[in-house]
Structure 1
Amino acid sequence: MRLDALTRVATASLLLVAVSSHANESRDVEMHSVSAEGVGESIGTITLEDTDHGLLLTPDLSGIAPGVHGFHVHQEASCEPGENDSGDMAAALQAGGHYDPEDTGRHEGPYSEGHLGDLPVLIVDDDETATLPVLAPRLSLDDMNGRSLMIHAGGDNYSDDPEPLGGGGGRMACGVVES
């Protein structure tokens, strides 16, 4: 996905102005590549920060395929592989499913009434870096304790149709949120 540099800077600037009013605390989450064999090398960090308008997530990541990627909060604080229903090992399966404290069972995106694990998509530039902040208006830093952040190989349509959980596909990067 190609982003015009001016549009990217303007979007990031507007987002930062909109949410920067009273950030109290922040937390850095180290993100790692993940595979069925385990947790790999660091690909950078995502800074979590409370704002008056929700949780601001600011990535500083590299080495990710360019494009749009599904981005979610997962239930468990683990990035370890696990055995899937077919008996095969799968990347970061110990992170569990998307964070859904109200048991909605619905994937409807970060601005709707579905589960709270839905974050805005992560945009990776042509140089394989992600630095554009995203805002999760229904989350706070307190919600993140004991969770993990997950980046998926594909995009996210914020729906369970035509594919469950937005169609993001495999888990490719993960980070545990330390308390």
Structure 2
Amino acid sequence: MKKLIVLCVMLFLLSGCAQGNVTKMDVEMFNDVGDSLGSITLTEKSNGVMLSLDLKGLTPGVHGIHIHETKKCDAPDFQSAGNHFNPDKKDHGLLYPKGAHAGDLPNIIAEDDGTVKAEIMAPQVTLKEGKNSLFQKKGTSIVITETGDDGMTQPAGDSGARVSCGAIKK
């Protein structure tokens, strides 16, 4: 009887793993020379995906942060990450009346010592299967820019060069 119970529990656990449901994962962020800047933990919530940032080594001040349309993070410019993740083909900007991209996120602030410890919500994306899933065929990534996103300028918020990138992958 004990063996049957253990077997049932094992099958139940394995069936959940086989479905590939991811509810939490870490994305390691790198700078243009390949140094790790820390990680961003993605957590599925009922109202989107929570990003918990624990970073170091950024220039003090305001930075833009976006989810991009591929999981490629080729240094030094991270252009391989593509454009902002935008499955609904909207305009850019959290302040733009017809926006925003699913990958548009609020700016972050690096402290004087270059650290960022913050939580931000990405309400238009999910870790579950579907159109707005971060696990697209080409994958997705998180990119941090050198200055803040103005929330309006097309196509990317006039936020300067890409200074950090991390691939989102199962």
TM-score by length of 1: 0.73
Contact 1:110–1:138 (8 Å) recurs in 2: no
Q: 1:110 offset after TM fit, Å?
A: 8.2
Asked if residue 133 in structure 1 is aligned to residue 119 in structure 2, the reply is yes
Partner of 1:173: 164
| Superposition pairs of residues 29-44 of structure 1, within 5 angstroms | 29-34=27-32, 40-44=34-38
Q: 1:92 offset after TM fit, Å?
A: 0.6
How far, CA to CA, are the matches of 2:158 and 2:96 in structure 1?
Answer: 18
Q: Which amino acid aligns with 2:145?
A: H
Q: 1:107 offset after TM fit, Å?
A: 0.7
Task: Name stretches of at least 5 consecutive residues in structure 1 with no aligned partner.
Answer: 1-23, 82-89
Aligned residues: 141
Q: Which amino acid aligns with 1:144?
A: L
| Superposition pairs of residues 1-179 of structure 1, within 5 angstroms | 25-34=23-32, 40-81=34-75, 91-104=77-90, 106-109=91-94, 113-142=99-128, 143-145=133-135, 146-160=139-153, 164-179=155-170
Q: Which amino acid aligns with 1:124?
A: A
Contact 2:103–2:122 (8 Å) recurs in 1: no
| Deviation per residue, 1:62-121 (Å, 9 max, x gap) | 01011111100010110014xxxxxxxx601111111111222x1122897321110111
Q: Secondary structure at the match of 1:94?
A: helix
How far, CA to CA, are the matches of 1:61 and 1:138 in structure 2?
Answer: 23
Kindly name which structure, 1 or 2, has the bigger radius of gyration based on alpha carbons: 2
Judged with a 3 Å threshold, the aligned counterparts in structure 2 of structure 1 residues 110 and 177 are, in CA distance, closer, same or farther, namely farther
Task: Name stretches of at least 5 consecutive residues in structure 2 with no aligned partner.
Answer: 1-21
Contact 1:111–1:137 (8 Å) recurs in 2: no
